[in-house]
Amino acid sequence: MRAYRSTNKNSGSGRLAARVAALSLTAAITTMSGSAFAQTINVWSGYPEMAPFYEHVAEGLKEKYPDLEVNVEAIALREHEKRIALGLTSGSAGVTVIELAGSTASRYIENDLLPAAPEAVANFVTNEENFGEFFVDAASKNGTVYGVPLFRGQGALFYNVDMFEAAGLKEPPQTMEAYTDYAEKLTQRDEDGKATVSGWSLRLSGGGQGIAEKFWINLFQYGGSVIEEVSDGKWKANYANEAGRKALKQYLENVHVLKTVTPEMPADAEAFERGQTAMFIRESWVIADIAAKAPDLNYATAPLPVGSIALPANLYVNSVEGEDAEAAWAYVQAANDPENLVWLLDNVGWLPNRSGVDYGVVTEKVPAYGAFVDYPEDYRFFTLPAIGPIEEVLTRLAAQLTSAYGNASLAEDDAAIDAVLAKAAEETNNILKREGLLAE
């Protein structure tokens, strides 16, 4: 059997389980033999800003295991995904810890290219004192734990306080309708009326599925979703409806009618840090980015009207056995040490997923994290479903959306908007049908 299974009594996971079963995470790592670490493991990440964190974890382990060599390779997400596809399918990855969203990991799990976690690691993940059900599900498939939750991307509104004050706005927008009103008031224009500072930076172009993910965030505020699970394991498109029309129309109105933003304008975190946009929706990593690149920026954050996307990133280990597996899983566990997680939030800005860790030292120092951790009790989360074709669904929807965003004739034509959404939803459902996932 190629995949490494915890039920293999002669495997490294069996020894690992025996050592850590009755011990805490940190104590378990401490008890492992030094010889298990006299080797090299690779850490693959799709977020370059995570490299210092993974190196920090490696340094912590090296104090006790000087023979352990950890190669951290953090590259852009698209290239990371290509690397995983090539490395896992060709068997050339070596001993590797892989950072991956559960939705993306699903295809490799289904093809036995990512093994189940050892029993002790699975027990750590399923302990409700460590992780909520949302994160356990994201690291599991069909009830089996394959990865260890590490951090998540979670959206919130970032807004320029000085621009809000200049526009007479005293609090962040509370509804999606208010987002458009605010965008109008915040847009700065030249003498010809051309926008020079966008009121609301919307993701209108760029690479791949990110466009669809950002659309999904806005769609979610209106009660829709790109796909929904109708019955166990069966899905269908859920945006060719009123929620979808409102979400797409809001994009079109801002671009073509109100002209608060255009595809050509600077966008995203870089534009916000340079004062080229007044507000935008993004994940918590922007806080650390602002601290590094625009420390004097007067900004604040706020929860979204209904809830947010939460994209948990998990750590997996490829199909290796014995001491190789033991060393790789020990590294994964060390990454979830409370000290390392506080370091992650403080120095990188991604939100750790583990419960029961006191992050107060960070949130007190950086109030902007408040919108991400102090949200309303009825705040809702959604994530990308762990089904094989989810990336294809999003990438193809992104292409449809990009085309729609550039079509001014749609902006004030609800019937035309509905037709665009119906065509896109048909394509989504055809993908699901091809994979045997479409709900009848």
With bands split at pLDDT 50, 70 and 90, how would you rate the model's confidence at 62? confident
Angle of CA points 87, 318, 210, to nearest 5°: 65
pLDDT of 168-190, one tens digit each? 999 999 999 999 999 999 999 99
Mean pLDDT of 50-77: 92
Residue-level pLDDT at 2: 26
Mean pLDDT of 277-282: 97
Range 255-266 burial, b when 16+ CB lie within 10 A, else e = bbebbbbeeebe
Mean pLDDT of 336-360: 91
pLDDT above 90 covers a percentage of the chain that reads 67
Report the distance separating Cα 147 and Cα 198, nearest Å.
40
Mean pLDDT of 354-378: 87
pLDDT of 89-110, one tens digit each? 887 788 999 999 887 898 899 8
With bands split at pLDDT 50, 70 and 90, how would you rate the model's confidence at 19? very low
Q: 239 vs 245, 401, 402, 416, CA distance in Å?
A: 8, 12, 16, 14
Task: Report the chain's mean pLDDT, rounded to a whole number.
Answer: 88
Q: What is the pTM of this model?
A: 0.74
Exposure of 318 by Cβ count < 10 A (0-12 exposed, 13-18 middle, 19+ buried)?
Answer: buried
Residue-level pLDDT at 207: 63
pLDDT at 199 over 80: yes
pLDDT at 8 over 60: no
Residue 162 CB neighbours (<10 A): 13
Mean pLDDT of 360-373: 88
